[in-house]
Structure 1
Amino acid sequence: MNATEQLAAWIRESSNIVFFGGAGTSTESGIPDFRSAAGLYQTEQHSPYPPEELLSRRFFDQHADIFYDFYRGKMLHPDAAPNGCHRLLARLEQEGRLQAVITQNIDGLHQKAGSSNVLELHGSIHRNACMDCKRFYALDDIITAKDTVPRCTACGGVIKPDVVLYEEELDQTILYRSVDALSSADLLLVGGTSLTVYPAAQLITYFQGKHTVLLNATPTAYDRRADLLITDPIGEVMNKVDQLLD
């Protein structure tokens, strides 16, 4: 039995699956990750500002115009489509096997594929709000705004994406729900994440179930604790698993 067949077998045996994913989940949808050789942090090395600074709350407050130039140009991919990973997870949720998707991504592709119980640790590009009056704005409002810094049509306040920037805390409710999901799961699928972003990466230590499957192109500090390691592209692997489950 190869790794893909083993994964399919464990999925068949499971009724309480949780998926924990990162940027690598969406690279096959055309969205670059952060830390790989072709990732955002590498390609922006020659910028006057490192991405960690550009994506900080302090920088947003002081230089919203520069932030939005970077954000619109590098982090918004409105035409991206779900890949095999997103689609299989949505199928497993519809079948009652998968209880939650915990994601570090902000792209909304899990919901676009059909998943409903998605716990977005770092927020979403699809939710935006005026910092003054809290009026809601959709992603299209940010993309089509005439000014570099989108402003509220009601009060003129600066609109901020509902994404967690450096120096900001994660949503405590989302964290608690993630811990609950992981604590009760019988199979944990970890995909497309280097497990180096804290505190999010610490969450998987709450899993006490039967099997942990780690799908990532590069080694992580968690490899030795996984029951199954798969380094092939996650979308391709999940497509094969999807076919095996039919």
Structure 2
Amino acid sequence: MGKTITDPRLAAQELRKLTDASAHTVFFGGAGVSTASGIPDFRSENGLYNQHFSSKYSPEELLSHHLWKQDPDAFYDFYRKMMCAPDARPNQAHVKLAQLEREGRLDAIVTQNIDGLHQAAGSKNVIELHGSTHRNHCVDCGAAYDQEWMLSTTGVPRCTRCGGIVKPDVVLYEESLDEKDIEAAVMAISHADLLIIGGTSLVVYPAAGLVQYFRGSHLAIVNLEPIAQDCAADVVCACDIAKAFDW
């Protein structure tokens, strides 16, 4: 394992040095990227999975395909309240990554997030492994609906064209990742000479397994909590991710 940095100013200097020296940089991120935007992560002390809900179901169940089928009212109530974040805005990490892409210094963002904040910050090449709350579709006719429309509905949302159920374009538990997204992520990661992993515990598979395709020169990890992959990193920035990208 390389050096560990806890001072966000020094972390920012190190990340800048690495990106300046790299021709092909890819960022792989998770829920921790958006915590500074007010969106809770999943597994931290204050994360979604450690919160208490009035529902008889656990958060994992509430985000499962079988519950969407068996108890859609409970699913959509949780989805609207906890998974959609219409007031969230990009933080410094999102902004810096978009800037790096504009400058030609970032090839792609591979994200497990569904909040759309990378695009809101201006990033273009964003591979959303788990989909997006900003896209919804009718399971019968395929009609598309945005997040604003979804939040304006109550109960089980019905298509205005055919009356079919409108399902979020997010990957639920028990569902498979899109093959095209997997291929795009593998292509980007395998061609990178610098991979920055940020805001993720890398325990959700198959998404977490994609980082194994990295064969480049430098690996940087930006996480408040340690993860198993720290031992392979050139540098571990154990600090707030928004501050680590403030340069």
TM-score class normalised by the smaller sequence = over 0.9
Choose between structure 1 and 2 for higher RCO, CA contacts under 8 A separated by at least 6 residues: 2
**In structure 2, do the counterparts of structure 1 residues 46 and 228 end up closer, same or farther at CA, with 3 Å as the change threshold?**
farther
Kindly provide the CA deviation profile for residues 196-232 of structure 1, in whole angstroms up to 9, marking residues without a partner as x: 0001101111111111000011111111011100111
Calculate percent identity across the aligned residue pairs.
54
Return the offset for 1:44.
3.0
**Out of 84, 92, 103, which is 1:95 matched to?**
103
Runs of 5+ consecutive residues of structure 1 not aligned to the other structure = none
**In structure 2, do the counterparts of structure 1 residues 46 and 136 end up closer, same or farther at CA, with 3 Å as the change threshold?**
closer
**In structure 2, do the counterparts of structure 1 residues 215 and 67 end up closer, same or farther at CA, with 3 Å as the change threshold?**
same
- Structure 2 distance, partners of 1:49, 1:140, is 26
- Structure 2 distance, partners of 1:41, 1:13, is 39
- Structure 2 distance, partners of 1:102, 1:42, is 26
Query: Quick check: 2:12–2:243 contact (8 Å CA) kept in 1?
Result: no
Return the offset for 1:46.
6.6
Return the offset for 1:13.
0.8
**In structure 2, do the counterparts of structure 1 residues 66 and 46 end up closer, same or farther at CA, with 3 Å as the change threshold?**
closer
Task: Report the counterpart of residue 29 of structure 1 in structure 2.
Answer: 37
- Structure 2 distance, partners of 1:225, 1:86, is 25
Task: Report the counterpart of residue 127 of structure 1 in structure 2.
Answer: 135
The normalised TM-score by structure 1 is 0.95
Kindly provide the CA deviation profile for residues 73-127 of structure 1, in whole angstroms up to 9, marking residues without a partner as x: 1111111000010001000000011000000000000000000000000000000
The normalised TM-score by structure 2 is 0.94
Task: Report the counterpart of residue 231 of structure 1 in structure 2.
Answer: 238
Moved over 6 A (4+): none
Task: Report the counterpart of residue 205 of structure 1 in structure 2.
Answer: 212
Task: Report the counterpart of residue 188 of structure 1 in structure 2.
Answer: 195
Query: Quick check: 1:44–1:51 contact (8 Å CA) kept in 2?
Result: no
Return the offset for 1:168.
0.3
Output the amino acid matched with 1:149: V
Query: Quick check: 1:17–1:189 contact (8 Å CA) kept in 2?
Result: yes
Return the offset for 1:236.
1.0
Query: Quick check: 2:110–2:128 contact (8 Å CA) kept in 1?
Result: yes
Kindly provide the CA deviation profile for residues 143-196 of structure 1, in whole angstroms up to 9, marking residues without a partner as x: 111x31110001101100000000000000000010000111011010000000
Return the offset for 1:4.
2.9
Pick which of 6-15 and 81-90 moved more. Answer: 6-15
The answer on 1:152 being equivalent to 2:194 is: no
Return the offset for 1:47.
4.1
